[in-house]
């Protein structure tokens, strides 16, 4: 397993790994944890929460955003996402990217799958033409 280059990135990923253990994924068996870093250094976690009515499921990334916004935070610069069951390079879904774009023009996106494969990208790389009003 390769580690991320900065201590902050490593700590953020470790927080996402710990959060993934609290995910509620009885249907997919695909738990995901996220750790969202604010521009002033606070960290908010989120997990995927599934529902028997699948469309009502929320992803870990959006769960973290909701937690941060509920605490009054709306300026983000990084998010770490961990899925222990993932075997391929992990990326946030389109809905999560668009929600992140609501609060940041660009940010670092760190991901790690269960095999320890890390990926570092940016919001601009993954969603170059985000919808903005």
Residues with catalytic function: 61
Residue 100, pLDDT score = 98
Q: Is 7-122 CATH 2.40.10.120?
A: no
Distances from the Cα of 9 to the Cα of 25, 36, 45, 55, 70, angstroms: 26, 11, 14, 32, 24
Q: Is 58 left (phi over 0), alpha (psi -120 to 50) or beta?
A: beta
Annotated domain spans of the chain: 7-122
Those residues whose C-beta lies under 8 Å from the C-beta of residue 31, and which sit 6 or more positions away, are 20, 21, 23, 25, 47, 48, 83, 84, 85
2-42 per-position pLDDT tens digit: 567 889 999 999 999 999 999 999 999 999 999 999 999 99
């Amino acid at each position: 397993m390769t580690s991320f280059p900065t201590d902050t990135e490593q700590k953020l990923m470790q927080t996402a790994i710990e959060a993934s253990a609290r995910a509620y994924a009885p249907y997919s068996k695909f738990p995901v944890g996220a750790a969202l870093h604010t521009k002033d250094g606070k960290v908010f976690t989120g997990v995927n929460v599934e529902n028997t009515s699948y469309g009502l499921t929320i992803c870990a990334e959006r769960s973290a955003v909701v937690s941060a916004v509920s605490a009054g935070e709306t300026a983000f610069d990084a998010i770490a996402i961990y899925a222990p069951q993932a075997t391929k390079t992990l990326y946030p879904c389109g809905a999560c990217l668009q929600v992140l774009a609501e609060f940041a023009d660009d940010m670092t996106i760190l991901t790690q799958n269960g095999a320890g494969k890390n990926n570092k990208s940016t919001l601009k790389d993954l969603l170059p033409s985000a919808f903005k009003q």
